[in-house]
Chains A and B, each alone.
Chain A
Amino acid sequence: MRIILGVAGVALIAVGLFFLLPLPGLWGVAAGFAGAVALHDAIVGPLVLLTGLLVARLPDRAVVRGALISMGALVLVTLPVLLRPGPPPNPTLLTLPYGRNLLICLGVVAVVAVALVLVRRRR
């Protein structure tokens, strides 16, 4: 079973390389791979670890952590929209006020977290 899984894995990677290696602009893919690992391991990882350490001592750690993960996720998926340079290529793309909407979402997460803490304390 384990061997079949491993062989299948190597076979799929080979298929991927077969499609990937002839592509023009391959250096961009290689740079993307390296950049992805570097960005996470050198910047995002330590930042999150540091936040985790700060949160560890707080009361109601579980709720605070859940709220921070949710907020981080919302920021992560919205950041490219906010950073995208230039006007959208057509009037039906990126139609919403994303900065405002992100703040609304973060606010809702914060309110829900505070409510959760209050409910838990009352019990």
Chain B
Amino acid sequence: MAIGRWLGAAIVVCFLTGLISHVLQHPPGWMTGLLPTRPVWGYRLTQGLHVASGLAAIVLVMAKLWTVYPRLFEWPPFRSLAHLVERLTIALLVAATVFELFTGLINILQWYPWPFSFTQAHFAVGWIVAGSLLLHLAVKAPLIRAHWRKKTSDVDAADRRALLAGVGAAVGVVTLTTAGQSFTPLRAFTLLAPRSPDLATQGVPVNRTAAAARVSHASADGWALEVTGPRPYRITLAELNALPQRRVRLPIACVEGWSVNAWWSGVPIGDLLERAGAPPGSALRVTSLEAWGYYRVMEMPAQYAADPQTLLALRLNDEVLSLDHGYPARIIAPNRPGVLQTKWVSRLEVR
């Protein structure tokens, strides 16, 4: 059935883009040196696709389940051991897929009504969805093969095409009304997306506010950046502003699926490292002023630290960073997930 084909494609895209997101955010040690800094919009694209294909899959999985619903009541429940195994793999596939799509949908609203860690459970169950899908294809291979060889001349063909058109329209309206949160040309149709960049301060939405991170103007007062390395130093905001500035256009893309392009200006990280006497190819550890948070300390692989577009940004869209956007200084680097674009930077350590 064509719905199954579309659903399969959506799940494959969702799984692969999910893996990319996981590797960029929590790279295993041996991969840190391999992560690419180009294209600068790479993560913006893959994470936008991840959320869009997930939303499309919600519609497709419902349609698929409804077309096979009568089979749930097959009698006898299983005819042979093979048939029992087949039905159990389907149960696993359905349970894991619905779990994955539901937790993903709830997460983009920053709503966590469950006892487990979303990131870890969503990552683990993604593998189970992909595995049980392959297993399902293996079990159904003869049926699928027969379907492809069949001439489509049966009486139901017109009705089936009409159903497909209906499901296609449903995927279309859901995508049209939500994808604008990452895909700028659809911005005008963003009626149902959790984020609307046009309504955000300085043109960029916020994932974690200063209040949530317990950072205030008071804690940023008298701030000086501490840089450790062969020649450690401290530098004030006024001194940073007096250094040669660079202005770059880079997207910020959140794991929750929204993304937006912006102008960032500040001091290239490479300049700050050079001043500390860091040898070429040094990696960086960045610490934030925030009181707590999974990403308070961020590791930046050498290729990002050396990239001329990676900045300690002081300005966003030509205005001084607002406190929610990371005042007095934040990181912006190409092709990295938003949670690694550390805000309220207090310390750079050459590693």
Binding site for B on A (CB under 8 A): 1-3, 5-6, 8-17, 19-20, 23-29, 32-34, 36-37, 40-41, 44-45, 48-49, 52, 61-62, 65-67, 69-70, 72-74, 76-78, 80-81, 84, 88-96, 98, 101-102, 104-105, 109
Contacts and interface: CB of A to CB of B under 8 A. Distances in A.
Interface string B29-71: 0000000000000000000000000010011001101100100
A70 B169 contact: yes
Contact of A62 (B92, B165, B207): B165
A23 to B, nearest CB: 5
Residue among A78, A84, A89 having the largest count of chain B Cβ atoms under 10 Å: A89
B148 interface: no
B317 interface: no
Contacts of B178: 77
Contacts of B165: 62, 66
Given A81-B192, A84-B111, 7 more contacts: A32-B102, A77-B59, A90-B207, A91-B201, A91-B206, A94-B194, A102-B192
Given A32-B99, A105-B191, A2 B200 contact: no
Interface residues of B, number: 77
Interface stretch (B133-141, B295-303, B341-349): B133-141
Contacts of B206: 90-92
Residue among A11, A62, A77 having the largest count of chain B Cβ atoms under 10 Å: A77
B173 interface: yes
Given A45-B69, A49-B69, A73-B58, A25 B173 contact: no
B138 A9 contact: yes
A63 to B, nearest CB: 8
B311 interface: no
Nearest to B111: A84
B110 interface: yes
Given A5-B138, A9-B132, A77 B192 contact: yes
B109 A80 contact: yes
Interface stretch (B119-127, B219-227, B242-250): B119-127
A76 B59 contact: yes
A45 B131 CA distance: 25
A9 B141 CA distance: 13
Nearest to A49: B69
Contacts of B132: 9, 13
Contacts of A93: 109-110, 194-195, 205
A69 B127 contact: no
Contacts of A101: 177, 191-192
B147 to A, nearest CB: 15
A57 B288 CA distance: 64
B9 interface: no
B240 interface: no
Contacts of B190: 96
A36 B62 CA distance: 12
A66 B94 contact: no
Interface string B147-181: 00000000000010011011101110110011000
B131 A95 contact: no
A52 B163 CA distance: 12
A8 B66 contact: no
Contact of B174 (A6, A10, A74): A74
B13 interface: no
A98 B192 contact: yes
A62 B159 contact: yes
Interface in B269-287: none
B262 interface: no
Interface string B104-120: 01100111001111001
